[in-house]
Structures are given as C-alpha cells and as structure tokens.
Amino acid sequence: MKKVFQTIVVTLFALFWLVISFYPFVFMVMSSLKGRMEFVIQPKWALPEKFLYTNYIRVIEGGFLRFFSNSVIVSGFSVLLIILVSSLSSYAISRIRFRFSGFVYTMFVAGMMIPIHITLIPVYNLTRAMGLYDNLAGLVGPYVSFSLPVSVFVLTGFMREIPLELEEAALMDGASRLQVYTKVIMPLSKPAISTVAIYNFIMLWNEFIYALVLLSSPKNWNLTMGLWNFHGQYSIDIPLIMATLTLAALPLIIVYIFLQEQVIRGMTTGALKG
C-alpha cells in the first residue's frame, strides 16, 4: 500500500512538473497564432479566435531561413571540432601516462570558471587581426575554445573507467595508439560523446554575446542575432515575435525529445564514473 501511494505521489508530481514546464511553450504557440490587436484586447491565456499562420509566413520572408542556416553551419561545424579536440585531449589525459597529465586536466577544468565577458575584447581584437571579423568562421574559434573545458571534463571521467585490459589487448595485437583511439575508445565512449555533442549544440545554438560582438552584416547573422533584430523591428507585434521564438525553439525541442535518453545516460554515467 505504501509503495502504491508513493507511486501515485511521484506520478502526480511528474504531471504537475510537466504542465509547469511545457505550458510556456504552449502559450508561446497560441500567442503566435493570434493577430496583434487580438493579443492586446483578448485575455492573454485565451485560445485564438482564428488561427493565423501569416505570422510564420512573415517571419520566414523576413530572412529567418538565412539566419537558421547560418546557425546550423556554425554550430554543426563547431560541435564536430569540439568532439574531435576534446576526445583526443581526454584520451591523452586519461589513458596515456605523462608527467603533467594532472596539471593539464586541472587547467581544462579551471577553464569552466572563466567568465565569458572578460574575453570579449581580446577575442574581438584577435578576430580582427586574423581577418575573420564579420565572418561565420570567426565564431568557430571562440565557440570551440569555451566549450572544451566541460567537454574534456565529461569525456575524461568516462574514458578513465574503460577497462585498461581492452587497450592493452589491442596494443598487443599490433594496434597503434591512433587505432586504439578510433576503434576501441571512441566506440565505447558513444554515450558521453552524444552528451557532449547535444549539450554543446544546444549551448551554441542559443549563444548571443559572441555573435553580437563578432558579426555586423545581416547576411552573416546567426539565429540569435536574427531574433534580436526581429525584436527590435517588431517590438509591438508580440504574436510575430512569438512566431519567431517558436520556430527558433522547435528544432531544439525535437532534438531533445528524440535524444534525451542519450543525454541523461551520458551525464549520469560520466558523473558516476568521474
């Protein structure tokens, strides 16, 4: 009886938390389907009198697809580099014995404590000196650099718990370090790698401050810069802004729905093993 009661309480709490978490998105979608005057006059929580899809058409015609594609390109390429660099670094720290491995790992972890804002001026000056200002390529360096600490932290903790015997057997069979990395360590680290990829993609998809500092031309704006422009241009048209936010958030929600198990498994495994 006690177990049944606990199950009911947990289920009710989970449903309550689902409503609290999901209803803001529902409100955003409902508001995006209203007219501007209807949103002002009618109760904010009322259903739309008539579902207006023209807000989405106006957003797409306003350059949303260009901003969207820019974000996909820069975030996707950055995540690939993050996985490559962080996995190689984590493999060296966790599996190869060298004198300063502990110090190198400490420096990576210490990087998580550096506030992003104190780096804006040096990064801006360096980007201009390299000729990458107002270029999507100029975002890749800062994105990768400030994503490495947490990525190395997660992957190192995971790789340290991979049985050493597997690596030794591969080396005895004549495999090189590179082959051990590609054919043994990387396949076994898929949960942690998936977590790193999804986490960093979401973070970079929502990144704004570097884009604001390093991009100036509308043709090079990513999605967050485009949203900022929509807000300034249509600040009175709340339903149009809600339509823009819905389109921006939808890809992340879809990705998380299908890959949430990978995220949870990778994070919990890394936390327990680290």
Per-residue pLDDT of the chain (274 residues; tens, 9 = 90+): 677 778 888 888 888 888 888 888 888 889 888 888 888 888 877 888 888 888 899 888 888 899 999 999 999 999 999 999 999 999 999 888 888 888 899 999 898 888 888 899 999 999 999 999 999 999 999 999 999 999 999 999 889 888 888 888 888 888 888 898 998 899 988 888 988 998 899 899 999 999 999 998 989 999 888 888 776 665 667 888 888 889 888 888 887 777 767 666 655 654 444 4
Q: Are 200 and 151 in contact (CB under 8 A)?
A: yes
Amino acid identity, position 180: V
CATH 3.40.50.10490 applies to domain 63-273? no
The per-residue pLDDT for 204 is 93
Q: How far is CA 92 from CA 3, 101, 160, 193, in A?
A: 47, 8, 11, 16
In the chain, where the domains are located: 1-51, 63-273
